Amino acid sequence: MITLYIKNLEGVWFGVACQEEKVLATAFAFNQSRVLQNLLKNIPFNVPFRYLEEVSSFADQLINTLRDIYQGKDVSPKFFLSMEQVSSYAKNVLETVALIPVGYVTSYGSVAKVAGGSPRAVGRIMASNPFPLIVPCHRVVASGLSLGGYGGGLEVKLEILSRERRGYSVKKEISVDGEKLQVFPVELLLSKQDAVALLANANNKS
């Protein structure tokens, strides 16, 4: 039996789908129905489920972790993510993205070099990520450090990344199964976004 839990924390709805202490899906949004829809979209269709208003201690811990990541706090989630419902390639991509630390971003192309496939294929998997925030797809951006896409909206993506700035200035590499994933300080992306905004404002005034 899959159990769905949804909770409002400081104006944001967070939801999880669990099977005992296995995590099948997570979601967040600014309205309850959207969270429920996203959870239902990502759980197996042939397994019975229930929705409980009273949150279990495990689900409460998971939801609080989602909230902390959303707020830009330093969190290293240690939950078992059930990936039986995704392809082996999608699993490789999700596990790679899960290694991107707070304060850094990487590109769809960089993930593709490590996990295989193309940047476009990585983008499709990010768009259907069943574990948003736990698997930080908001830290995957387009080449040239532009935002790319995000199911929660680009403004939300930018807000989360803004809260994750840590003052880093140097890119680094993360070892992933013998490959190297290049990650860049989020400040580089934010500086570019500021420059784009300033240019847009200048053009609007001219």
Closest CA to 22 of 1, 36, 8, 38: 1
pLDDT of residue 64: 97
Query: pLDDT per residue over 183-204, tens digit each?
Result: 999 999 998 886 555 445 545 5
Asked if 172 and 97 sit in the same domain, the reply is: yes
Both 73 and 107 in a single domain?
Answer: no
CB of 69 within 8 A of CB of 77? yes
pLDDT of res. 45: 85
> How high does pLDDT run on average in the chain?
91
Could you tell me if 127 and 107 lie in one domain? yes
Q: Of 114, 175, 166, whose CA–CA distance to 140 is shortest?
A: 114
CATH of the domain at 201: 1.10.10.10
Strand order in the sheet with 22-29: 49-51, 2-9, 12-19, 22-29, 80-81
End of a domain among 50, 81, 112? 81
26, 33 contact by CB (below 8 A):
no
- Residue 206, pLDDT > 90, answer no
- What's the domain count of the chain? 2
Hunting for tokens 């935002």 — which residue is that?
Answer: 147
3-class secondary-structure state, position 88: helix
Q: How confident is the model at residue 82 (pLDDT cuts 50, 70, 90)?
A: very high
**Sequence-distant (≥ 6) Cβ neighbours of residue 187 within 8 angstroms:** 165, 167, 168, 169
Q: What is the reported pLDDT for 59?
A: 95
Does residue 73 register a pLDDT over 70?
yes
Is there a single domain that holds both residue 135 and residue 169? yes
Catalytic residues: 137
- What range defines the domain where residue 186 resides? 88-205
What value, to the nearest 5°, has the Cα angle with vertex 134 and ends 131 and 137? 70
Q: What is the CATH number for 71?
A: 3.30.160
Edge-to-edge strand order for the sheet containing 140-141?
140-141, 104-107, 179-185, 172-176
Better pLDDT: 199 or 43:
43
Q: Return the structure tokens found at 158.
A: 């930018």
DSSP string, 21-86: TEEEEEEEESSHHHHHHHHHHTS-TTS-EEE-SSPPHHHHHHHHHHHHHHTT-------EE--TTS
Reported pTM: 0.92
CA angle 62, 168, 171 (to 5 degrees): 100
**One domain for residues 17 and 47:** yes
